[in-house]
Amino acid sequence: MYICSMHIEILFEDDFILIVNKPNNLLIHNSYYARNIKEPTLLDLLLEQFNHNYFPVHRLDRKTSGVILLAKQKENVSIFQELFNSNLIEKTYLGIVRGFLNDSIKIESPVKNPDTKIYKNAETFCKPLLTKSLDIAVKPFETSRYSLVTLQPSTGRMHQLRIHMNKISHPIVGDYKYGDRFHNRMFEDNFNCKNLFLHAYTLKLTHPITNKTIKIEADLPKDWYTIFTNFDWKL
């Protein structure tokens, strides 16, 4: 049994599902792609916290924080997955990205499947919310500029949002795979923020069993409030 190192915040619960706020840098479950990571997973921590096994309905990257939906009974997973497959769930992410994004944009760029190596269609709608310019030099410029954006994927490819934002030259801050190392380092050095600034902020669905409309909002991690304070941003 693991010694629980963190308390998982519960956002919603009924007889069929549990919705939680996943912290940064936490795997949902063990997988081939993360076989070298030996830390407890979200499922491990939930088992310890509630003495119950839960079954994830959708994916969220290890480095991404925010809303994740789990079924309480394995036989109900497919019922909720069908909502995702049919695009009947509204998912909104928040991201802090490099540069000024002035206009909303639909990104339609295929993303490669890591198993088959085949590119699959992927679509993300990106909307700018706020911008900030800092008198902090980031190579090769004498200043640095950032945008707060909402991201709404209509497909669910692995690393889709991170790949898409890199594709339009507005990589997400704190992304060490697809991002800009100079801006990542600036956030570390100046704000002591090392995590990925991608957060699954809201989830809205019509419950397929109870037929109730559920809208969930997940509070932001601590790093976000550090940046909001320094940037004078408010949601």
Task: State yes or no: is 232 an active-site residue.
Answer: no
Q: Is the dihedral of CA 160, 11, 229, 186 positive or negative?
A: negative
Residue 12: what residue type?
Answer: F
- Please give the Cα distance from 119 to 29 (Å, whole number): 25
Please tell me the distance from the alpha carbon of residue 42 to that of residue 54, in angstroms, as a whole number.
10
How far apart CA 178 and CA 175 sit, in angstroms, is 6
Give 174's Cβ-side CA count (13 Å radius): 22
β-pair type (123-134, 65-71): unpaired
Q: Which residue among 14, 15, 44, 61 is the active-site one?
A: 61
Instruction: Centre a 10 Å sphere on the Cβ of residue 197 and count the other Cβ atoms it contains.
Output: 27
End-to-end CA distance of the chain: 40
Question: With 0-12 CB in 10 A as exposed, 13-18 as middle and 19+ as buried, what is 7?
Answer: exposed
Supply the residues annotated as catalytic: 61
